[in-house]
Amino acid sequence: MGTTSSHPPATPGTLTIRRAGERGHADHGWLDSWHSFSFASYDDPRHMGFRSLRVINDDRVAAGRGFGMHPHEDMEIITYVLDGELAHKDSLGNGSLIRPGDVQRMSAGTGITHSEFNPSPSTAVRLLQIWIEPARVGVAPSYEQKFFPRADREHRLRLIASPDGRDGSVTINQDACVYAGILSAGDRAAHRVAAGRHAWIQVARGAIALDGQPLVEGDAASLSGAAGLEFTASEDAELLVFDLG
């Protein structure tokens, strides 16, 4: 599977805003999901992905419900839990609980099956599920999960995924780096996008100003070309920044 770049190209150095309400939406009762890019029954040729970033699903799974065993191949899948916990099992024999602060990476490679289930009898789980297209297909499937304490993500952007696993991040099979930040109201953070690279910013919750542009929960912004991004939290906020080749 090659790199998808169907998102309308941004003018170099210029932010392109995608508002939360413009995303695809599916409410199955037990699953309430917002799709940043085309997924399942949401088919929008204008939003098929951005560079190697193919899926950002903002999922809320009801108590005691989940996804049964299902297959994936040739995709880098990252799960980032915002609230609650998610139980994972896969065909490699892995089983774990994913909680806020945990980052799970599953390289589907030649093929893997897994299930995701909310074990709570009373509380929904909210997560971002992220798919990144791999640089190489046909690799052996693998799994990794690491915990990033809240203190490591507060008041700054903390690297959580990278192609070389640096700074304790999980390792993904693509020229992409993912950063997570938890900002208190008034906090400022910055990220430099190098020449020839691209960025996608996803506000998971709260509200920020990005280079003066207001973004709230579910909003996103893309940028192509060299630029220095500056984030100011207008209220407590959590965000992910994707730095993509």
Residue 14's pLDDT band, with cuts at 50, 70 and 90, is: confident
**Residue type at 38?**
S
Instruction: Round the average pLDDT of the chain to a whole number and report it.
Output: 94
What does the pLDDT average to over 74-99?
A: 97
User: Residues 192-206: pLDDT tens digits?
Assistant: 999 999 999 999 999
User: Residues 114-139: pLDDT tens digits?
Assistant: 999 999 999 999 999 999 999 999 99
Task: Indicate whether 113 belongs to any domain.
Answer: yes
Task: Indicate whether 7 belongs to any domain.
Answer: no
Task: Indicate whether 227 belongs to any domain.
Answer: yes
Total of domains in the chain: 1
User: Residues 139-188: pLDDT tens digits?
Assistant: 999 999 999 999 999 999 999 999 999 999 999 999 999 999 999 999 99
Task: Indicate whether 160 belongs to any domain.
Answer: yes
Q: Which domain holds residue 55?
A: 16-244
CB 50 within 8 A of CB 222: yes
Task: Indicate whether 11 belongs to any domain.
Answer: no
Structure tokens at 41: 């029954």
Task: Indicate whether 125 belongs to any domain.
Answer: yes
Residue 25's pLDDT band, with cuts at 50, 70 and 90, is: very high
CATH code for the domain of 178: 2.60.120.10
